A and B are shown apart, each in its own frame.
Chain A
Amino acid sequence: MHTVVRRLLAAVPLVLVVVSATFFLSLASNVDPAEIILGGNATQEQVDALRTDLGLDRPAFEQYWSWLSGLFQGDLGQSLYTRAEVTDLFTGALPVTLSLAVGGLLIGVILGVGMGVLAATTAGSRTDRGIIMVSTAGQAAPSFFVGMLVIYVFALQLGWFPATGYTSLAESPGGWLRSLVLPSFALGLGVAAALSRQARSSMVIALQRDYTRTALSKGLSRRRVVLKHAARNAASPVVTSVSFQVAQLLGGAIVIERLFALPGLGSLTIDAVLRYDPYIIQAVVLFAVVVVVVVNLLVDLSYTWLNPKVRTA
């Protein structure tokens, strides 16, 4: 517990630096939100008035300071357009993105690790080659292309799942699940492809180790040798690669939300970029960095669990 707190505190500077860099980047931008909001016909007076109203005429450091101090009070600022609180927008969009990301991760991990382990235990066989082929193809197909294919087959042709849209969990748990199946699959396939390769190669290494030979020499079953002795040793690199994949998933979710018209953080982000709404973008970056930091911490903790040498040292 002690280490967790210490590690989280240690990550604060990193988060601050990244977020501040984003803030100054947007300040340095030559895009003027006031001009965009008012459109081409506005007079200079109108633009100036709006700039004052939005606080954009203040010195850069003052803007930064008021934003930063708001941040520590849980205030992420407002949308320059709708004047909605960014915190509120986030609260609405977060469950969608989290559902999607968890769904994608689950499909990716289960499918990926399963295929990887199967391929490793049959290395060199036809099954192995088949799995390698599938994961190679899975890595090459962009998620939105896969998404369109599954929409066509499973939504438009077979009618099993809705093509687009989101049903919240509170509204209908069954509908929620159905609305997530296709997006999660489209998002998770790439993860599965990457993980299966990692799982295969670290499993192949573990299976060649002396302790695997010892396990076999004791007369243990194949299942026990693979799933107990080799798997525990092969897990660390796979866990690392899962953590990379989580970062990928956050980016991937943006695309998938757009494709399936899900009202999540991704849709929020794209809209914000297209009309230039800086506080929303900063909030998204902040969120992404925090997720990455937390995931990395979890991964480090899992090493401790996976490797007794670290644990007892």
Chain B
Amino acid sequence: MSAAAGRSRFVARALRQRGMLVWSGIVLLIALASVCAPLLTDFDPNVGVFGDSMAAPSAEHWLGADRYGRDVLTRVLYGGQVALLAAVEAVAIALALGVPLGLVAGYVSGWFDKIVMRVVDGVMSVPFLVLAIAVIAAIGPGLANAMAVVGVVYAMSVLRLVRGEVLSAKEELYVDGLKVSGVSGPKILFGHILRNIAPPVIVQATLMFATAIVAEATLSYLGLGVPQPTASWGSMLSDAQHTIRENFFFVIPPGVAIFLTVLGVNQIGEGLRDLFSREIAVGRLGLNVVHPAPRGQGEPVVEPGEPDRPVALEVEGLSVSFPHQDAGRVTVVRDVSLRLHRGEVLCLVGESGSGKSVTAMSMLGLVSHPGTVTAASIRIGDDEISGLDFAGMRSIRGNRVGVVFQDPLGSLNPTFTVGNQMREAITAHRDVSRAEADRIAVELFERVGIPRAAERLADYPFQFSGGMAQRVMIAMALSCDPDVLVADEPTTALDVTVQQQVLDLLVSLRDERGMAVLLITHDLGVVAEVADSVAVMYAGQLVETGPVSEVFTRPRHPYTQGLLDSVPRNELATGPLASIPGVVPQPADWPDGCHFADRCPFAVDACGGEPVPLVLLPDRTRGVRCVRSGELDLPGLGDHGPGTEPVREHADSHVEAGRP
């Protein structure tokens, strides 16, 4: 992205934030009115007309007159001058002091930095109003003094911010290998820093401006700011308090003036902050209902497994879409249908960005918020689970479907013991005592191969190695004896030596319990080893499915062939595919025709234009989405037949340390 393009995007985003524009207008109006106060009103803000004392709002005194007969509107306008001037003073001092000191402290480090930071700690350990009062006590009241103190206090937080930024910039440049030496060193550094530092400092200065207005009002309210009878919003509130029993109204004009100004400036600051960074909304927690889609209109369901076994999981016409800035909505998973029998392992394969994880998560309502999931049907055994609410889904999750995630250490809660987390998984679905739950947990730990199972229940996740943590996750997923185990890249985050053990464990558990396993992976070695059938996904669609032996030896889709070509070098796991240059395009850029067309070596004109349907091969065990699948003669895996010779390099050592 060029700098100019970046800037224009920034301006466009700023314009889209209507709230910020409105507030900027209001603040500007208040500032203008204050500055032009002498032009707007003929009254003297500090000298009243005795006869007008406590006058109600009228044509002459729009907001009435206070107990000294002074026009309230006039005083509010002049008070604005005081407030703005005070805030400007404080912020200017804060920046003038904080920015250079922060730059130097961060740049030279060493003893200078140490001393400066001590001073900062000292100043910041005294509540700011207390400090202001102590200093004012010594140097005497007066607004200029008071705001200078406020400015110095603010300078401390600016200093911290700038210093932190310099330190991280130094780090970054060092990491980037940029030479920070000689004459150009500081130049590069400061150029880099100033670019990075401007946004947070601008935001901070804006927010400080708002608090400085409150500080001025507070000090003047306490009689430590402007001397009487000078008009200030704070001293007006103090006056209004004296007459609150006779007429409450006088509290309102200065109060609202402070409130609006501070709110406005805060909103501008927040708006600026949002421009620089965006927070993601999570939405209603924990359930993304699967909306019903019409049945029977989707694509055919391929039956790669043994049809006489009972069906454990069946998905029909599953689609997931997300709102998109430019394209309205984009569909990231389109019309996926799968069937999985008891005791089978089905592997969902594809590069990252193919939509394989989203597919699995969406079935359980675990897709993040703005996503919309639709499906004609999702069945676990004989039970339809699409359209279930949170309570209905609870009886499925962890109970009939267990899930194992990619990163075991991140997926376990770091603040609770694994025993605690095991126990709650068990008691969520079974009415058992604590002791009984512990016994079940120990049994499961032993089954998945965690040494000293009973002791280790009291340990926290960080006390486990990756492999052991994944065994904990597996034990947890199995705790209620599910019909289906969904494993999302269960070995990707693990050491190569451990991957094999975890895979073996999954397969033996499948054999023992007869559950169905939906394994999501990008590692074709894993597929070759454990899968009964395979579903290859590309850019949100299934492109080929079937029994693994047939798909690997006689692929019908060029993408499958590309994946197979990459196997000997295990490229799918390590980086870009040499056999298929390019990457999976962004969902918004997917064409109507074949999604793979721009990377396909066999692409012809017919591949574009119309959507390509998934076609069942005559025996119904295989499906393929390619207009040329009939004419292409793809070689498959060649010498590396599945099941004959392990594709991945196996570690000789099967020993894993129990503790790090």
Interface residues in chain A, defined as those with a beta carbon under 8 Å from any beta carbon in chain B: 14, 17-18, 21-22, 25-26, 28-31, 120-125, 136-137, 139-142, 144-145, 148-149, 151-152, 156, 201, 204, 207-211, 213-222, 224-226, 228-229, 232-233, 247-248, 250-252, 254-255, 258-259, 269-270, 272-274, 276, 278, 281-282, 284-285, 288-289, 292-293, 296, 306-309, 312
Contact = CB atoms under 8 A, between A and B. Distances in A.
Given A31-B138, A259-B241, A273-B133, A144 B366 contact: no
A219 B364 CA distance: 10
A248 to B, nearest CB: 7
Contact of B413 (A226, A233, A273, A281): A233
A197 B286 CA distance: 22
Contacts of B217: 142
Contacts of B240: 148
B130 A285 contact: yes
A207 B262 CA distance: 31
Interface size, B (range): 35 or more
Contacts of B394: 219-221
Contacts of B473: 214
Given A22-B134, A141-B259, 19 more contacts: A31-B140, A125-B283, A141-B262, A142-B218, A142-B258, A142-B259, A148-B237, A151-B244, A156-B245, A213-B361, A213-B411, A217-B405, A224-B424, A247-B128, A248-B127, A248-B128, A273-B141, A284-B134, A308-B460
B286 A225 contact: yes
Given A31-B138, A219-B429, A123 B133 contact: no
Nearest to B250: A148
27 contacts: A18-B126, A21-B122, A26-B138, A31-B138, A121-B285, A123-B283, A124-B283, A124-B369, A136-B263, A137-B259, A139-B266, A141-B255, A142-B217, A144-B218, A152-B244, A201-B279, A210-B411, A213-B361, A217-B398, A217-B403, A217-B405, A220-B394, A226-B285, A248-B127, A254-B130, A273-B141, A308-B415
Nearest to A18: B122
A214 B141 CA distance: 59
A214 B412 contact: yes
Interface stretch (B221-229, B314-322, B567-575, B593-601): B221-229
A201 B350 CA distance: 34
A145 B131 CA distance: 22
B400 to A, nearest CB: 9
B282 interface: yes
A226 B282 CA distance: 13
Interface residue SS majority, chain A: helix
Given A251-B128, A255-B221, A26 B237 contact: no
A306 B415 CA distance: 7
Contacts of B122: 14, 17-18, 21
Given A214-B405, A220-B394, A307-B415, A123 B282 contact: yes
Contact of B237 (A144, A219, A221, A270): A144
A29 to B, nearest CB: 4
Given A142-B214, A156-B244, A215 B138 contact: no
B379 to A, nearest CB: 18
Nearest to B266: A140
B342 to A, nearest CB: 21
B281 A123 contact: yes
Given A121-B285, A208-B280, A225-B286, A148 B241 contact: yes
A202 to B, nearest CB: 12
A292 B124 CA distance: 9
